[in-house]
Amino acid sequence: MKLKSTTMRTFTTLHSWVGLVAGFALFVAFYAGAITVFQHALQQWATPHAVDARNGTLDDAQRLLDSMLAQHPEARDHLGMTFPGYELTQATAYWQDSHGTWLFATQDNLAGSPTPLVAALPELVNELHYSLGIPPVGTWLMGIVSLLYGVALVSGLVIHLPRLTKDLFALRPGRNLKRFWQDAHNVIGVLSLPFHLMFAVTGAVLCLLFALMLALNPLIYHGKLMAASSAAMNTAPVLQQADIAKPLSPLALWHARSIAVARSQGLADFQPAYLKLAHADDAHAVVEITGTSPRALGGGAVALDATTGALLSAQLPGARDANHATLAATYALHFGDYGKITIKWLYFLLGLGGAFLFYSGNLLWIESRRKRRQPAQGRAQIAMARATVGICIGVCVAISAAFVAAQLLPLLSARFDWNVGTGERWVCFVSWALCALWAAWRPPVHVAHELLWLAAIVTALIPVAHGVASGWWFWRSAAAGHGALFGIDIGALALAIGFAAMARATARRGRHGEPNSVWANTSATAR
C-alpha cells in the first residue's frame, strides 16, 4: 500500500505535533508508571523495618475491628480494613469521622490519625503517573493526553505501515546519529504498538471515566448518578439499616467464606486483601471483601451478610457483569495487575521504552529542523532542547531524590517532627523545578550532560540511603531472600549506570558530533 505524498505529509505533521504537545506529560507518565508497576514492593521498601516486623494474624485484625467499632461509633456506618500482609504487616482500619475526615488506625494507634499509615512514596509516584502530581486537574489533563496519544499512535502506524517490515528490523548505528535515533524510535514504537494502544485506551478510560459520567448524568442517569454508580462499581448491594441489633459474625468466617466462594467459581488462588463493612451491628450489616488473584485478569470481590456469612453477591473473573468486567480489565491491563513477576518486569521495560519514545521523538524534531549550514540555531530548537532536558531528565532526578528522601527523612523526623510524606513531596517537586530552571539558563549540551550525571549520582544513592537507614544492603537482602528490597536497589543501580552511559554519550556527541547542532560544544545558540 502506497500513500500519496500529500497524505503522508499530513499524517507526519499530525504525528509530530501531537507527539510534541503530549510528549512531556507522557514521558512523566511512562517513567513514573514503570516504577508504579512494583507499587506493593515499593511499599515494603519504603516502610521502615517492614521486613523485620511480625506478620499480623486474623485474630489481630479481629481485635482491631472490635476496638474500632467500640471506640468510634461513626465507624459503624462504614469501615474499611486491610488484611495483614496486603500493604502492611499489620491490619489497618480507616473510616470517616463526623466531620467527613478520613482517619487511619492500627492496633498500636486506636485513636486514629488523618495521615495514612502506609508509606507515602508509592502514592507520590502513582500521582505523577496519573495526574503529574496535580490531582484532580492533572487527572483530566492526562485523560486528554491519552486521547492525543492514541492519535499519535494511529498516525505513526499510517506513516510506517507501507514500510513496516523494513522499519521493524532497521537499526543502523554509526556516525549518522539522527538516523540511529530514528531507527531506535521506529523499532521500539512498532514492536510495542499493541501495548501502547492498550495503554492509550485504558489511560483515557481511567482518567476520564468520572468526567464522562458527570457529563452523561442529566442525559442517561436523570440526575441520579450516585445511586447508579454505586451499583455499577460496588459488589455489595445497597441496603437500608433495619434498626434491629444483631451481632457480627467473626472476621475469620468472612475471610474463609470469601475464599470458598472464589474457589467454587474456579478461582483457586484468591487472596483477600481488604474489606468494606457497612451498618455494623445491624441486621442488614454487609461486608464486601476484595481480593487478588495473580492468574486472573484483575482480582474480584465477594459480598456477604456480615451477621451470618451468607453470600449476597460476587464479582469474580469469569462471572462478572459488563460494568465490573470492563473496569477490572481496564485497571489490570493498564497496571499489569495480573500474572506474576515476569509480567511486572515486562511492564517495567515497556514503561521505560515508552519514555524513550517521547524523549527520542523530541530529539528527532530538534534535529529535523536543524540549520545544517549555520552555527546559530533557531530559538524554537533551543527552547525545545532545554525543555526536553529540564522536564524529562529533571523528573528522573526528582523521583530518585524522593526515593532517597523516603529513607533519610524518617531518621530526621523523630528529631525535628517532620511529616515524612510532605517532605518527600517537597524534595521531589523542588528538585524538579530546580532542574527545569537550570535547563532554562544553561546551553542544552551542557545541561544535558550535567543533569544526566546528576540523575546517575542521585539514583545510585538510592540503595546507599536504603542500606544506611535500614541496614538492608542489597547483598544482605539477596542473601535473606527479600526480593522486593533487592530488586528495587539493584534496579536503581542499573538505572544509574544507564544515566551515566547517556551522560558520556552526550559529552562524546558534543565533542565529535555535527558541529551545527544544539548538542554541539561549538554551536552558537540563539537566546
Residue 256 belongs to domain with CATH number? 3.10.450
Do 21 and 167 reside in the same domain of the chain?
yes
Do 489 and 409 reside in the same domain of the chain?
yes
Instruction: Evaluate whether residue 346 is within a structural domain.
Output: no
Task: Give the pLDDT of residue 172.
Answer: 52
Q: Which of 108-117, 171-180, 299-308, 392-401 has the lowest mean pLDDT?
A: 171-180
d(CA 59, CA 38): 29
For 404-433, write each residue's pLDDT tens digit.
999 999 887 666 666 778 899 999 999 999
Do 84 and 1 reside in the same domain of the chain?
no
Q: What is the DSSP letter of 526?
A: P
Do 270 and 226 reside in the same domain of the chain?
no
Task: Give the pLDDT of residue 106.
Answer: 92
Report cis status (omega within 30 of 0) of the bond before 136: yes
d(CA 275, CA 467): 35
Task: Give the pLDDT of residue 526.
Answer: 46
* Grid cell listed for 448: 544535558
d(CA 382, CA 385): 5
Of 83, 118, 153, which residue constitutes the final position of a domain? Answer: 118
Query: Residue 434 carries which side chain, given as an amino acid letter?
Result: L
Cβ neighbours of residue 379 under 8 Å, at least 6 residues apart? 526, 527
For 204-260, write each residue's pLDDT tens digit.
988 887 777 766 666 666 666 666 666 667 888 888 899 999 999 999 999 999 999
Do 207 and 75 reside in the same domain of the chain?
no
Q: Are the beta carbons of 398 and 429 closer than 8 angstroms?
A: yes
Q: Are the beta carbons of 350 and 344 closer than 8 angstroms?
A: no
Do 261 and 300 reside in the same domain of the chain?
yes
Burial 287-310 (b: 16+ CB within 10 A, else e): bbbbbbbeebbbbbbbbbbbbebe
More confident residue, 472 or 187: 472
**Could you tell me the pLDDT band of residue 14, with boundaries at 50, 70 and 90?**
confident
Burial 133-150 (b: 16+ CB within 10 A, else e): beeeebbebbbbbbbbbb
**pLDDT at residue 168 tops 80:** no
Of 118, 145, 162, which residue constitutes the final position of a domain? Answer: 118
d(CA 322, CA 303): 18
More confident residue, 364 or 120: 120
Annotate 414-461 with DSSP letters as a single string: HHH---HHHHHHHHHHHHHHHHHHHHHHS-HHHHHHHHHHHHHHHHHH
For 436-462, write each residue's pLDDT tens digit.
999 999 989 899 999 999 999 999 999
* Grid cell listed for 464: 546507599
Torsion angle in degrees (nearest 10) through CA of 499, 500, 505, 507: 110
Question: What is the rounded average pLDDT of the residues 170-179?
Answer: 55
Share of the chain above pLDDT 70, in %: 85
Comparing CA positions, the residue from 60, 106, 88, 105 lying closest to residue 251 is: 60
**pLDDT at residue 96 tops 50:** yes
Phi, psi of 14 (to 5 degrees): -60, -45
* Grid cell listed for 446: 551542557
Task: Give the pLDDT of residue 406.
Answer: 94
Question: What is the rounded average pLDDT of the residues 6-34?
Answer: 82
Do 184 and 67 reside in the same domain of the chain?
no
d(CA 31, CA 369): 27
Instruction: Evaluate whether residue 153 is within a structural domain.
Output: yes
Question: What is the rounded average pLDDT of the residues 294-306?
Answer: 88
Cβ neighbourhood burial of 223 (10 Å; 0-12, 13-18, 19+): exposed
Instruction: Evaluate whether residue 347 is within a structural domain.
Output: no
d(CA 432, CA 446): 17
**pLDDT at residue 1 tops 60:** no
**Could you tell me the pLDDT band of residue 8, with boundaries at 50, 70 and 90?**
low
* Grid cell listed for 314: 460476587
Comparing CA positions, the residue from 125, 130, 128 lying closest to residue 43 is: 125
Q: Are the beta carbons of 47 and 118 closer than 8 angstroms?
A: yes
Do 86 and 219 reside in the same domain of the chain?
no
Task: Give the pLDDT of residue 478.
Answer: 94
**Could you tell me the pLDDT band of residue 362, with boundaries at 50, 70 and 90?**
confident
When the pLDDT of each residue in the chain is averaged and rounded to a whole number, the result is 86
* Grid cell listed for 46: 519504603
The continuous run of DSSP H or E covering 40 comes out as helix 39-46
Task: Give the pLDDT of residue 367.
Answer: 76
**pLDDT at residue 338 tops 90:** no
Task: Give the pLDDT of residue 320.
Answer: 86
Do 34 and 89 reside in the same domain of the chain?
no
Q: Are the beta carbons of 257 and 287 closer than 8 angstroms?
A: no
Q: Which long-range contacts (CB under 8 A, 24 or more apart) does 474-482 make?
A: 480/51, 482/51
Q: Are the beta carbons of 111 and 105 closer than 8 angstroms?
A: yes
d(CA 397, CA 452): 8
Instruction: Evaluate whether residue 429 is within a structural domain.
Output: yes
d(CA 149, CA 185): 15
Q: Are the beta carbons of 286 and 306 closer than 8 angstroms?
A: yes
Do 204 and 144 reside in the same domain of the chain?
yes
Give, in order, the Cα–Cα distances in Å from 240 to each of 15, 168, 278.
Answer: 53, 60, 10
**Could you tell me the pLDDT band of residue 524, with boundaries at 50, 70 and 90?**
very low
More confident residue, 292 or 517: 292
Number of domains in the chain: 4
For 260-286, write each residue's pLDDT tens digit.
999 998 888 899 999 999 999 999 999
Regarding beta strands 271-278 and 109-113, do their DSSP bridges make them parallel or antiparallel, or are they unpaired? unpaired
Q: Which of 349-363, 366-380, 386-400, 412-426 has the lowest mean pLDDT?
A: 366-380
**pLDDT at residue 490 tops 90:** yes
Q: Which of 94-103, 127-136, 216-225, 306-315 has the lowest mean pLDDT?
A: 216-225
Instruction: Evaluate whether residue 354 is within a structural domain.
Output: no
Do 508 and 401 reside in the same domain of the chain?
yes
Instruction: Evaluate whether residue 349 is within a structural domain.
Output: no
Comparing CA positions, the residue from 410, 415, 397, 421 lying closest to residue 465 is: 410
**Residue 399: domain span:** 373-527
d(CA 263, CA 417): 48
Give, in order, the Cα–Cα distances in Å from 340 to each of 32, 37, 314, 485.
Answer: 20, 12, 24, 17
Do 280 and 137 reside in the same domain of the chain?
no
* Grid cell listed for 33: 508508571
**pLDDT at residue 53 tops 80:** no
Share of the chain above pLDDT 90, in %: 50
